[in-house]
Amino acid sequence: MIANHYYPNDGLVSHVDLVNRFADGIVVASISGSCIMEFSPSDNANQNHQPKVNQNHHQPAGTIEMFLQQGDLIGLSGEARWDWKHGIPVRLNDQWQGEIYPRTERISVTLRRLLPQTDESF
């Protein structure tokens, strides 16, 4: 379990959680605050996967946005876990469905399972 505390202009670099350290199945609980999390195909994505092209010119092609609010829970497994990066853009406000949402401090909790052969020390 990892608890994260973000300030309004903080972000999270787009990434796939360590494939050699963590098993399939990741859960993120948004405890307080809100933000937009972006999902985009990873460099190692399945070659047969054809992401949807996003017409919003402010995002890379294939990026999908998800608005996370206090109390939301997301799970990443299978293709969502292995073939898609997730991240949070650095900004003070998020725009979702025509509305502007100023960021406040945000707390999230992430649950991941270590692979059996993984050394638990970091």
Helices (H), 15-108: 79-82
Can you give the residue range of the structural domain that contains 94?
Answer: 2-111
78: left (phi > 0), else alpha (psi -120 to 50), else beta?
left
Which tens digit of pLDDT belongs to each residue from 76-86?
998 989 999 99
**Six token digits for residue 88:** 């949070």
The whole-number average pLDDT for the span 24-40 is: 95
Specify the CATH number for the domain of residue 74: 2.60.120.1520
> Which pTM value belongs to this model?
0.77
Q: How many domains does the chain have?
A: 1
In a domain, 122, yes or no: no
Q: Across the chain, what does the average pLDDT equal?
A: 85
In a domain, 121, yes or no: no
In whole angstroms, give the CA distance from residue 85 to residue 46. Answer: 13
In a domain, 76, yes or no: yes
pLDDT at site 113: 87
In a domain, 103, yes or no: yes
Q: Which amino acid is at 78?
A: G
